[in-house]
Amino acid sequence: GAGVSQSPSNKVTEKGKDVELRCDPISGHTALYWYRQSLGQGLEFLIYFQGNSAPDKSGLPSDRFSAERTGGSVSTLTIQRTQQEDSAVYLCASSVSLGGRTISYEQYFGPGTRLTVT
Partner 1 sequence: SQQGEEDPQALSIQEGENATMNCSYKTSINNLQWYRQNSGRGLVHLILIRSNEREKHSGRLRVTLDTSKKSSSLLITASRAADTASYFCATDDFNKFYFGSGTKLNVKP
| Exposed/middle/buried for residue 28 (C-beta within 10 Å: 0-12, 13-18, 19+) | exposed
Rounded to a whole number of angstroms, the minimum distance from the CB of residue 75 to partner 1 is: 15
Amino acid identity of 66? S
Using CB under 8 A as the criterion, which residues of the chain lie in contact with partner 1 when the complex forms?
4, 33, 35, 37, 39, 41-43, 45, 48, 50, 56, 58, 89, 91, 93, 101-104, 106-112
* Whole-angstrom distance, CA of residue 75 vs CA of residue 29: 12
Least Cβ distance, residue 50 to partner 1 (angstroms): 7
Comparison of 38 and 83: residue with beta carbon closer to partner 1 = 38
* 80 close to 60: Cβ distance less than 8 angstroms: no
Which of 71, 100 has the CB closer to partner 1?
A: 100
